[in-house]
Amino acid sequence: MSACPIPALSAVTTPTDTPTRQVTEGEQVGLLHALSAMPDPRSPRGLRYPLAGLLAVAVCAVLAGATSVTAIADWLHDLDDIARARLGFRRGVPASTTMWRLLIRLDADLLATILAGWLRTRTRPSDRPRGPRYRTVIAVDGKTLRGARRPDGSQVHLLSALDTSTGIVLAQVTVSAKSNEIPAFAPLLDAIEQVLGSLHGLIFVADALHTQVGHATEIATRGAHLLIPAKGNQPTLHAQLKTLPWAQIPIGHQTREAGHGRRETRTVKAITLHTPGGIGFPHAQQAIRITRTRTTTKNGKTTRETAYLTLSLPAADAHPSDIQSWIRAEWLIENLVHHVRDVTFREDSHQARTGNGPAVMATLRNTSIGFHRASGDTNIARATRRANRRPHELITAVISGNPTTQ
């Protein structure tokens, strides 16, 4: 329920026969217009509520901090008549069961694509200067919804892609119950391409699970590039990278940081592979070694970790300093999205189990995080509380037209 008393007073003092303001043509290019592209899974007989309005309510409520379908319905019930009318509700509001029956039947992957496209039209380009080697980095990572289980007892697992320059989750696909993230990678690329139009020139970073020959070939075919670590799942590749003459390679880039009770040094070395793919991995142009040395301030204990990676960009297009930042970008999807979904929206404690409900709710949380980051907020919990106190401002922000700025 909104903490602001103004909507409650408005609901009492606004006569029920007051003419409602029609949504203007300018506003139709906002969220309501974007959501009109969603196919309606409901039977056409007896429909009382508009699909775009119901979905807009779900988006707005989660932007305001709603963490469940019941909370979404409560947010709508707490709005005054004018706010409801702006979202398309002029004759009553649905119960939470009505909302839930709709959400579990939606195409979750398509909803993620539509909302990502809508967010991109509202995102301003970064004001930070971009060098000649600038690349947009897409971080790919999976997340298990620990509270959501299918009828067979398996947990719902989602694979997502984050545009690290904007904080927007560009795509999210559901991993099949009897499979893993690897077969879901190509459908994820399809969804990203649908949002962006092209993958040309992008850098994809992911964990070692996606160090797959098929992935490298698929990304190269689409004109993108892959920066990927080699670990135990590719023992031959890992052994080949480890035995390269690293001692003869000068340091390409080094950073030193202090904080959180430790000092850390990261050292990057890169070597051009004169025979691309000759190390047993297609399209590899460079081999990379990154050494992380951490010293605990309290006891002086020092640990060292070495990682080996391949990159499909030549040295002329990827300086070691660029590679350093691209490698660290892999963690952004975990820190900026998955962690926030767990802590702010308590995702892992939810036990939604029916249909596409878990994936749809995850998409709504991704949208909330991306929307607030695009608005300049870094504290998502605080942003959702502010949105909850100011529902009219929130509705105006999402339904008003905002031309593409990218």
**Predicted pLDDT at 44:** 83
DSSP 6-44: HHHHHHHHS-TTSPPPPPPTTGGGSHHHHHTTSPP-S-S
At residue 128, φ and ψ (nearest 5 deg) are: -70, 140
The answer to whether 273 and 286 are in contact (CB under 8 A) is yes
pTM of the model: 0.86
Tens of pLDDT, residue by residue over 298-345, are 888 899 999 999 999 999 899 999 999 999 999 999 999 999 999 999
Tens of pLDDT, residue by residue over 350-365, are 766 677 889 999 999 9
**Predicted pLDDT at 275:** 64
Instruction: Work out the average pLDDT over 143-151.
Output: 79
Q: Tell whether the model's pLDDT for residue 24 goes beyond 60.
A: no
Q: Tell whether the model's pLDDT for residue 26 goes beyond 80.
A: no
Residue 400: band (very low, low, confident or very high) from pLDDT cuts 50, 70, 90: confident
Domain range annotation of the chain = 5-110+350-399
Q: Which of 6, 112, 94, 100 is nearest to 53 (CA)?
A: 94
Calculate the average pLDDT of the chain: 86
Tens of pLDDT, residue by residue over 259-276, are 878 899 999 999 998 765
Q: How far apart are CA 318 and CA 311, in angstroms?
A: 9
